[in-house]
């Protein structure tokens, strides 16, 4: 399916739900060939215009993905939609010294309620709009500086207010350089945080999630793209008091999982006091083997297997993922109805089609809804399935089979 067809379909779906492009906060644009980036921008701007978006065009991240390999077309797109028009955007259109201008028809950042959604940032030198020379770590440093410049426009810092960093790494990067990217990320954010703690007298900082995604290509043939998401406590509106139980309710389970300590080893999470929660669950080969061996009855697998080989195994992995993430929602007094986004990344070396992954996770959500008798899930959640070359919580080991990303916010 090409981009024009995708945009037409989304525009129709928005209208069917009483919305339009001006309700869209964020767009993830995935294309099968980065050589079509300019053409994609030309098509994109015919649909998403300043005239249609009175409150500002949505922010955007664009990467190349192996779409054709999993049975998709030339373009795949996700949109995050708000029910209201309260968003605030930063749209840098001219060349400046403080932040790079947009290389497409999108905003650099969009603030809605207390969450700042930042467009994917490349290592572009703002005055020249050229990629910084020196390799992936130099590009990463510039991308983080660009992100920080945008954050300061909203009176915050990526080092203290970030919930989540997605770091897209080009497959062109040598494996030996990937560890350097992760180390540089830690060093730069630590230095930024120290500066913030001294100058702003901040006493509390967030502990963000990091997810590294290996993709075939990035815009401008960049090696790194950084996509931060921030929580701005100062923007939070005073909500009515919420009743929280001291202990989370006992979880009803329809798949036979009993809690064990290894359930937590695959998790990264960032929770903000009953207001919101972000979590990433990473399924490695080792974890998948444990899931199969602990299943009753056991699901067969060969020791040292390198891929999921059948749909029964993928189904069991999906059940574990939803079970564990459901527990996180319960612990934070949230439900699936509070979900802002749910994304399932899967490695293309699994040799499983996009449609198969989608169908299996949809069936698991249906089981969950029936088990809870709609008490905590009023409708089956909308989720996206994203094929990638590699993915992981570490740049040096982007070898997860599947990673599930959940963002929930009490509205």
CA distance 31 to 344: 17
% the chain with pLDDT above 70: 85
* Average pLDDT of the residues in 46-59: 92
Residue 215, token pair as written in the block: 């993709």
In this structure, what token pair is assigned to residue 284?
């490695």
Which residues face 88 on adjacent strands?
Answer: 111
Whether residue 243 has pLDDT greater than 50: no
3-class secondary structure per residue, the chain: CCHHHHHHHHHHHHHHCCCCHHHEEEEEEEECCHHHHHHHHHHHHHHCCCCCCCCCCCEEEEEECCCHHHCCCCEEEEEEECCCCCCEEECCCCCCCCCCCCCCCCECEEEECCEEEECCEECEECCCCEECCCCHHHHHHHHHHHHHHHHHHCCCCHHHHEEEEEEEEECCCCHHHHHHHHHHHHHHHHHHHHHHHHHHCCCCCCCCEEEEEEECECHHHCCEEEEEEEECHHHCCCCCCCCCCCCCCCCCCCCCCCCCHHHHCCEEEEEECCCEEEEEEEECHHHHHHHHHHCCCCCCCCCCCCCCCCHHHHHHHHHHHHHHHHHHHHHCCCCHHHEEEEEEEEEHHHCCCHHHHHHHHHHHHHHHHHHCCCCCCCCCCCCEEEEECEEECCCCCCECCEEEEEEEECC
Cα–Cα distance for residue pair 372/380, rounded to 1 Å: 12
Report residue 46 CA to chain centroid gap.
Answer: 26
60-113 pLDDT, tens digit each: 999 999 999 999 999 999 999 999 999 999 876 655 666 677 766 789 999 999
Q: Is 97 or 321 the better-scoring residue by pLDDT? A: 321
- Mean pLDDT lowest for which of 17-26, 38-47, 96-105, 212-221? 96-105
Distance CA 96, CA 150 (A): 12
Measured torsion, CA atoms of residues 56, 58, 63, 64, in degrees rounded to the nearest 10? -100
Omega prior to 297 cis, within 30 of 0: yes
Lowest mean pLDDT, pick from 38-47, 149-158, 176-185, 238-247: 238-247
161 and 112 within one domain: yes
**Does one domain contain both 260 and 358?**
yes
Mean pLDDT, the chain, as a whole number? 88
Name the domain boundary from 213, 236, 259: 236
What mean pLDDT do residues 231-239 have? Answer: 68
How many alpha carbons lie under 13 Å from residue 60 in its C-beta half-sphere? Answer: 23
Is the pLDDT reported for residue 203 higher than 90? no
When pLDDT is averaged across residues 115-119 and rounded to a whole number, the result is 97
Do 39 and 161 lie in a common domain? yes
| pLDDT interval class at 24 (50, 70, 90) | very high
Separation of alpha carbons 5 and 261, rounded Å? 47
For 377, phi and psi rounded to 5 degrees? -150, 100
User: Are residues 228 and 361 both part of a single domain?
Assistant: no
Question: CA nearest 166: which of 117, 235, 231?
Answer: 117
Count up the domains in the chain and report the number.
2
Assess if residue 68 is contained within a domain: yes
What was the pLDDT predicted at 273? Answer: 81
Measure Cα distances from 356 to 55, 65, 361, 362, 382 in Å: 38, 18, 9, 10, 16
| Same domain assignment for residues 215 and 348 | no
Give the C-alpha separation, 355 to 362, whole Å.
10
User: Which of these three, 177, 209, 236, is where a domain ends?
Assistant: 236
Q: Whole-angstrom Cα distance, residue 407 to residue 166?
A: 13
On whether both 111 and 6 belong to a single domain, the answer is yes
Query: pLDDT higher for 295 or 280?
Result: 280
Write down which residue in 211, 236, 261 finishes a domain. 236
pLDDT of residue 198: 76
**Rounded Cα gap, residues 368 and 252, in angstroms:** 10
pLDDT, position 253:
60
pLDDT, tens digit, 9 for 90 and up, residues 337-383: 899 999 999 999 999 999 999 999 999 998 888 876 544 566 667 89
Domain that holds residue 305: 250-411
Query: Do 231 and 255 lie in a common domain?
Result: no
**CATH code assigned at 45:** 3.30.1330.40
Residues 225 and 260 in one domain: no
Is the domain of 276 the same as that of 208? no
**Structure confidence at residue 259 (pLDDT):** 82
Residue 250 pLDDT greater than 50, yes or no: no
303 shares a domain with 190: no
Structural domain includes residue 241: no
Same domain? 285 vs 385: yes
Give domain status of residue 5, yes or no.
Answer: yes
Give residue 94's pLDDT: 56
Confidence check: pLDDT of 156 > 50: yes
Residue 243 domain-assigned? no
Residues 227/215, Cβ–Cβ less than 8 Å? no
Q: What is the mean pLDDT of residues 242-253?
A: 46
Q: Tell me which of 242 and 62 has the higher pLDDT.
A: 62
Q: What's the average model confidence in pLDDT over 221-245?
A: 74
pLDDT band at 293 (very low <50, low <70, confident <90, very high): confident
| Rg of the chain taking only CA atoms, in angstroms | 21
Q: What per-residue confidence (pLDDT) applies to 197?
A: 78
pLDDT at 247: 44
For the segment 118-122, the average pLDDT, to the nearest whole number, is 96
Question: Is residue 244 included in any domain, yes or no?
Answer: no
Question: If pLDDT is split at 50, 70 and 90, which confidence band does 320 have?
Answer: very high
- Least confident among 91-95, 125-129, 185-189, 305-309: 305-309
Asked whether residue 179 falls in the same domain as residue 58, the answer is yes
């Amino acid at each position: 399916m090409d981009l024009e067809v995708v945009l037409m379909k989304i525009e129709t779906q928005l209208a069917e739900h009483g919305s339009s492009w001006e309700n869209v906060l964020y767009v993830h644009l995935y294309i099968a060939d980065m050589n079509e980036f300019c053409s994609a921008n030309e098509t994109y701007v015919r649909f998403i215009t300043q005239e249609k978006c009175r409150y500002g065009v949505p922010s955007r991240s664009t990467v190349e993905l192996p779409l054709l390999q999993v049975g998709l077309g030339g373009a795949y797109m996700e949109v995050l939609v708000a029910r209201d028009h309260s968003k605030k955007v930063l749209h840098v259109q001219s060349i400046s010294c403080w932040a790079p201008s947009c290389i497409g028809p999108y905003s650099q950042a969009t603030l809605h309620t207390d969450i700042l959604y930042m467009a994917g940032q490349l290592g572009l030198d703002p005055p020249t709009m050229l990629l910084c020379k020196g390799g992936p770590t130099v590009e990463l440093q510039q991308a983080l500086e660009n992100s920080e410049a945008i954050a300061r426009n909203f009176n915050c810092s990526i080092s203290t207010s970030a919930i989540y960093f997605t770091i897209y790494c080009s497959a062109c990067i040598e494996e030996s350089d990937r560890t350097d990217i992760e180390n540089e990320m830690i060093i730069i954010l630590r230095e930024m945080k120290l500066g913030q703690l001294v100058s702003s007298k901040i006493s509390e900082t967030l502990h963000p999630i990091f997810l590294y995604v290996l993709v075939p290509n990035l815009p401008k043939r960049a090696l790194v793209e950084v996509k931060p998401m921030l929580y701005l406590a100062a923007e939070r509106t005073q909500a009515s008091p919420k009743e929280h139980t001291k202990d989370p309710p006992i979880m009803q389970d329809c798949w036979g999982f009993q809690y064990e300590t290894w359930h937590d080893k695959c998790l990264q999470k960032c929770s903000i006091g009953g207001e919101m929660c972000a979590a990433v669950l990473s399924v490695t080969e080792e974890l998948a083997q444990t899931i199969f061996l602990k299943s009753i009855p056991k699901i067969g697998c060969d020791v040292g297997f390198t891929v999921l080989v059948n749909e029964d195994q993928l189904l069991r992995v999906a059940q574990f993922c939803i079970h564990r993430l459901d527990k996180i929602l319960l612990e934070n007094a949230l439900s699936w109805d509070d979900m802002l986004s749910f994304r399932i990344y899967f490695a293309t070396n699994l040799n499983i089609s996009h449609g198969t992954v989608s169908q299996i996770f949809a069936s698991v959500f249906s089981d969950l809804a029936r088990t809870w008798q709609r008490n905590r899930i009023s409708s089956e959640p909308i989720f996206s399935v994203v094929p990638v070359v590699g993915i992981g919580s570490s740049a040096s080991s982007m070898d997860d089979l599947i990673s599930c990303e959940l963002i929930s916010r009490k509205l």
